Structure 1
Amino acid sequence: MFEHLDLHALLATYGYWVIVLGCLLEGETVLILGGMAAHQQVLDLWAVIAVATVSGMFGDQLLFWSGRHFGGRLLPRLKGQQAAIERVTGLIRRYPSTSVLAVRFMYGMRWVGPVVIGASGLSPLRFTLLNMLGAVLWATLFVCGGYWAGDALEHLFGDLKPYRLPIVLGVVVLVVAVALLRQRRARARNVAPLND
């Protein structure tokens, strides 16, 4: 079925666009795969980091401004995200600067975090500077992690070219499974009966 699928050509043609879209969403899986593609010399390592940094920063800026302008109306409507909203609200009260950096790395906070921070009244300049730093750290960490994972897999299995598609599918399935498990646990915590 996949013998005519040229993954190398697809990644070389659309890889950077996939990274842009992935970074506007959650992004970590895409960054790991982008790092692995850079290891295989399908994409350029520094270009992947740059694209991921700019895309991740842009997405969080949009969310921050949404929170700044619509947070009062938007946040109460996010019923399923109340635990995350409360967590970020507590974090921003205690550690305003650190929270801007931290929410990017906290599972389930990537979308809600910048909206809550925007609604908190944090200075836009302060958010932008910290968001830029956070985006550079986030992109570099995950892309390099993918690059090093590609290197480790190549040491274990030799030439990875014949295994590109199974590796990509395996990473995606693993990340989706972990995300579903975390979501299920979070949902179970939110509906657990309160003990008197």
Structure 2
Amino acid sequence: MISLDQIVQTLGLPGVVIGTAIEGEGVAFLSGVFAHRHLFHFEAAALAATLGAIITDNVTFALGRFGGRWGYVQKLLAHHKVAPVRDMVHRHQTKAILGFRFIYGLKTIAPLLIAATPVPWLRYSALDAIAVFVWAHLFVGLGFFVGTAIEQLFGKLRLELHAGLALLIFAVVAGGLWLVLGRRTRARNRAESTD
């Protein structure tokens, strides 16, 4: 049976690029855990995650810019929950480009919306690269930190157990944040609807 260690060594940093392009935060986080275990250098993992995210963001931007007539893109852009985000993006393009990656749930829709504005693609790409560089270092760093904390608490575990425990911590923290922030948003929306 192939171990996780063998899979990581076989896929290497190209696996981080592809995984981050497809999934995002979880793969960037895990690559930090692997960097803690010396399977990757920290900076190499962060740069691979950066590249994967840049690819995804630019492909999504291209879909918004050139595929705006496609049914799927039109359906996404017409969704009632998108209207407030669309308005914010049009008013604050630079902030939207620099910040969307850090707001859960906007990773897919924001580049489509930004592409519908007159912002030049080169400007989008440059600002996005800055944001993604920070984002990748943040998530790889979190993975490295959690990997270190797990080893200090439990000693050197098998990689499968170490990574699984790290992902469990990641999921619990992310789920908790999602619930807390969602509750606050729903409360704010209820307050606004009663005004």
- Measured against the shorter chain, the TM-score band is 0.7 to 0.9
Query: CA separation in 2, counterparts of 1:12 and 1:169?
Result: 19
1:41 aligns with 2:38: yes
Secondary structure of 1:140's counterpart equals helix
Query: CA separation in 2, counterparts of 1:35 and 1:129?
Result: 25
Q: How does 1:101-120 map to 2 (within 5 A)?
A: 101-120=98-117
Output the aligned Cα RMSD: 3.3
After TM superposition, the score normalised by the length of structure 2 is: 0.80
After TM superposition, the score normalised by the length of structure 1 is: 0.79
Secondary structure of 2:67's counterpart equals helix
Q: How does 1:1-196 map to 2 (within 5 A)?
A: 4-73=1-70, 74-78=72-76, 81-83=79-81, 85-161=82-158, 163-164=161-162, 166-167=164-165, 170=168, 174=172
Which ranges in structure 1 are unaligned for 5 or more consecutive residues?
none
Which ranges in structure 2 are unaligned for 5 or more consecutive residues?
none
Secondary structure of 2:123's counterpart equals helix
Query: CA separation in 1, counterparts of 2:147 and 2:78?
Result: 37
Secondary structure of 2:165's counterpart equals helix
Query: CA separation in 2, counterparts of 1:143 and 1:81?
Result: 33
Q: For the structure 1 residues 32 and 180, does the alpha-carbon distance in structure 2 shift closer, same or farther, using more than 3 Å as the test?
A: same
Per the TM alignment, residue 28 of structure 1 is displaced from its structure 2 partner at its CA by 0.5
* Residues matched between the structures, number: 190
Query: CA separation in 2, counterparts of 1:26 and 1:181?
Result: 21
Query: CA separation in 2, counterparts of 1:96 and 1:119?
Result: 11
Amino acid at match of 1:118: A
Q: For the structure 1 residues 81 and 35, does the alpha-carbon distance in structure 2 shift closer, same or farther, using more than 3 Å as the test?
A: farther
Query: CA separation in 1, counterparts of 2:8 and 2:177?
Result: 24
Deviations along 1:44-69, whole A, 9 cap, x unmatched? 21111111111111110111111111
Q: For the structure 1 residues 126 and 45, does the alpha-carbon distance in structure 2 shift closer, same or farther, using more than 3 Å as the test?
A: same
Query: CA separation in 2, counterparts of 1:178 and 1:22?
Result: 24
Q: For the structure 1 residues 54 and 21, does the alpha-carbon distance in structure 2 shift closer, same or farther, using more than 3 Å as the test?
A: same
**Identity of aligned pairs, percent?**
28
